[in-house]
Structure 1
Amino acid sequence: MAKSKVLVVGGTGYIGRRIVQASLAQGHETYVLQRPEIGLDIEKLQMLLSFKKQGAHLIEGSFNDHKSLVEAIKQVDVVISTMSGVHFRSHNLLLQLKLVEAIKEAGNVKRFLPSEFGMDPARMGHALEPGRVTFYEKMVVRKAIEDANIPFTYVVANCFAGYFVGNLSQLERLTPPKHQVYLYGDGNVKVVFMDEDDIATYTIKAIDDPRTLNKTLYIRPPENILTQSQLIQNWEKLTEKKLDKISISAQDFLASMKGMDFAGQVGVGHFYHIFYEGCLTNFEIGEQGEEASKLYPEVDYIRMDEYLKIYT
C-alpha cells in the first residue's frame, strides 16, 4: 500500500519535530508548514532547514492566509497538527479551526490528527478551572472536525517523559530532586509515562491504519503504567540512594493554587487529575478507541527505568 503524504503543522515544536522525524523514518513523503510568523526565530528556521536536508519539503503557509493553507493541504493526504496547548509556553489550540476550514475546502484529506497528545479531553468535562480551558478548546476543535465530516484520529499520549519522569513528577523542575520528593497522596495512583519519540512513532504508524480511522489512539503500553511511588523506587534503585518522601494531601495540593499565576494554576489542576484522580487509567478503552502497543507490538518502546538512566 502506498504511504500517505504527510503535512506537519507546528513541526518545530516539542512534539512536532519528533513527528517530522518519525514520518521521514517510516518512509512518508513529509511536508512541514513554514509559517512567516516565525519572523526572526533563527533556531526554528535552522530546524526547518535541517528537516529539508533530511528529505522533508518545506511548504509556505500562514494562518492569516486561508488560500495558502488550502494550497498546502491539497498537496498531501494526511495533516498532523502539533500546535502548542501548554500555558507556560504558547497556547494557540483554537487556531486549528482555521486549519479545519482549509481541510474542508481542500476536500482531499484522508486523515486529520489535531493537536492533542495529552489527556483525553472527552473524559475531562469535570476538570477544574482554570485548567479545563485546554480540554474545552480541544473539544471545540473535535466538534468542528466531526461537523465537517473530516476523517480523523485523536492521539491520547498521556504524560511526556521529559516533563514527568526525569523530575519524578515534581512541579516547577525538570531534573530529579536530590534529597526530598513530594508524593501526591499515597503515590499509588496509576499513571502512563511515555518517551516522546515513541509517541511520534506510534502516531505515524496510525495514520494509514484503517483500525484507527475516526477513533482515539490511546498510547498506554502496559509496562509504562506506573505509580509515582514506582517511578521514585526506580530512581532510588538506579542511584542507590533513598529520598525523603513528603506526602501532600489532595486538599493541600489544591490549596497551593492560591496566589499562583494562570499557568501555575493550570499545572496544579492537571497534576491533580493525573495523580489524585487517576484520569489516565481509571477507564477501559471502549469501542471508540484502540491501544497503540496492542496494534503495533513491533515497537520496542522505552521503559521508564531505562529512560531514567540519562539523568544519573
Structure 2
Amino acid sequence: MKKSKVLVVGGTGYIGKRIVKASLDQGYPTYVLQRSELGLQDIEKLQMLLSFKKHGAHLVRASFSDHQSLVDAVKMVDVVICTMSGVHFRSHNLLLQLKLVKAIKEAGNIKRFLPSEFGMDPARMGDALEPGRETFEEKMMVRKAIEEANIPFTYISANCFAGYFVGNLSQPGTLVPPMDKVVIFGDGNVKVVYMDEDDIATYTMKTIDDPRTLNKTLYISPSENILSQIELVQIWEKLIGKDLEKYNISSKSYLSALEGMDHAMKAGSGHLYHIFYEGCLTNFEIGKDGEEASRLYPEVVYTRMDAYLKRYL
C-alpha cells in the first residue's frame, strides 16, 4: 500500500520532533510546516527544521495569518498531524488549531487529521477541576470543529510522558529522580500509564493509514507500563539499592494546597490530582469508539519503565 504524505504542524516541539523522526523512520513522505514568521529568536527551531530537511523531510512555508498559505500546504499531503504544545493551550493555540481545521476543510483532500492532544482524553474530563478544565474544554472545541467539518480524524491519548512523570518519580518541580525521599500521592496505589515519548510517536504514525483507527481515539496504554506510583518508586529503589523515605499527601491536603497556587500552577496540579488520586487514566473501559495501541500493533517493542529509569543512574 502506498504510504500517505504527512504534514507535521509544530514539528520543532517536544512531541513534534519525535513525530517527524518516526514519520521518516517509517518511510512516510514527510512534510514539516515552516512558519514564515521565524525571527532571530527562532534560530534553534530553524536549525532543527534544516536537520529534518537533511534527513529527507520537505519544509513547507506557511503562516497562520495567511489562510491561503495553510490551504496550499494542506493540499500537498494526505494526512495532517498537529503537535503544537497543549501545556498552555488557552486562547492562542486554540485559535491556531481552529484556523488549521478551517484550512483542512477548505482543502478537502485530507484522509486523516490528528489534532494536538497526546495526553489525557478530554472527552472523559468534563468534571475536571477548574482552572485545569479549560484545557480539556478547548480541546473538545477543536474536536467539535473537526467533526462538524466532517474531517476524518484520529485522537491520540498518550497518557503520562515519561520525561515529565517517570524520571522524577512524579515529583513536582524537578525532572530527576530523588535519592533520599519521595512524595507519594495518597497511598500511591492508583494505577497510572507512563509512556516513553519516542514510543508515543511510533504508535501515532502506525495509525494514520490504518482503517481500524479511523474516527476513533487511540489509547496508548500497554499493560506493562500501567504502574502505580509506588511500583514506579520500587523500580527506582531496586536500581539504586536503597529505600527512599516516603511522605504521603492525603487527598484533602493536596486539594487544600491548590488554593494558594497561581492560575497555571493550579491548572497543572489539578490534572495531577485526577491522575494520581482519581485514576482517570485507568478507571474506564475502552469502548467501541476507541482502540488500544499495543493490541493493534504488537510488533512495536515499547520501552518499559525499568529500562527508562536506568538512564538516570
Please give the range of the TM-score, normalised by the shorter of the 2 chains. over 0.9
Normalised to the residue count of structure 2, the TM-score between the two structures is: 0.98
Q: Which residue is equivalent to 1:207?
A: 208
Whether the 8 Å contact between 1:236 and 1:243 is mirrored in structure 2 is yes
Q: Which residue is equivalent to 1:38?
A: 38
- Distance verdict in 2 for CA 1:90–1:175, change over 3 Å: farther
Q: Which residue is equivalent to 1:195?
A: 196
For residues 132-154 of structure 1, the C-alpha deviation after alignment (integer angstroms, 9 at most, x for no partner) is: 11100000000000000000000
Q: Which residue is equivalent to 1:7?
A: 7
Unaligned runs of 5+ in 2: none
Whether the 8 Å contact between 2:90 and 2:134 is mirrored in structure 1 is no
For residues 90 and 167 of structure 2, the distance between their equivalents in structure 1, rounded to whole angstroms, comes to 19
For residues 256 and 234 of structure 1, the distance between their equivalents in structure 2, rounded to whole angstroms, comes to 28
For residues 229-260 of structure 1, the C-alpha deviation after alignment (integer angstroms, 9 at most, x for no partner) is: 00000000000011110000111111112332
For residues 89 and 213 of structure 2, the distance between their equivalents in structure 1, rounded to whole angstroms, comes to 31
Whether the 8 Å contact between 1:85 and 1:91 is mirrored in structure 2 is no
For residues 54 and 215 of structure 1, the distance between their equivalents in structure 2, rounded to whole angstroms, comes to 31
For residues 104 and 276 of structure 2, the distance between their equivalents in structure 1, rounded to whole angstroms, comes to 37
Q: How does 1:133-282 map to 2 (within 5 A)?
A: 133-282=134-283
- Distance verdict in 2 for CA 1:228–1:88, change over 3 Å: farther
CA displacement at 1:91 relative to structure 2: 6.2
For residues 63-86 of structure 1, the C-alpha deviation after alignment (integer angstroms, 9 at most, x for no partner) is: 111000000000000000001110
- Distance verdict in 2 for CA 1:90–1:83, change over 3 Å: farther
Question: What letter matches 1:35 in structure 2?
Answer: R
Tell me how large the CA RMSD over aligned residues is.
Answer: 1.3
- Distance verdict in 2 for CA 1:161–1:125, change over 3 Å: same
Question: What letter matches 1:167 in structure 2?
Answer: N
For residues 142 and 263 of structure 1, the distance between their equivalents in structure 2, rounded to whole angstroms, comes to 23
For residues 296 and 100 of structure 1, the distance between their equivalents in structure 2, rounded to whole angstroms, comes to 28
- Distance verdict in 2 for CA 1:297–1:166, change over 3 Å: same
For residues 311 and 11 of structure 2, the distance between their equivalents in structure 1, rounded to whole angstroms, comes to 25
SS at match of 1:80: strand
For residues 63 and 138 of structure 1, the distance between their equivalents in structure 2, rounded to whole angstroms, comes to 18
Whether the 8 Å contact between 1:159 and 1:192 is mirrored in structure 2 is yes
* Deviation beyond 4 Å, 4+ runs, structure 1: 88-91
For residues 51 and 129 of structure 1, the distance between their equivalents in structure 2, rounded to whole angstroms, comes to 39
Unaligned runs of 5+ in 1: none
Normalised to the residue count of structure 1, the TM-score between the two structures is: 0.98
For residues 88 and 73 of structure 1, the distance between their equivalents in structure 2, rounded to whole angstroms, comes to 23
Percent identity reads 76
Question: What letter matches 2:15 in structure 1?
Answer: I
SS at match of 1:217: strand
Whether the 8 Å contact between 1:7 and 1:78 is mirrored in structure 2 is yes
Aligned residues: 312
For residues 88 and 101 of structure 1, the distance between their equivalents in structure 2, rounded to whole angstroms, comes to 18
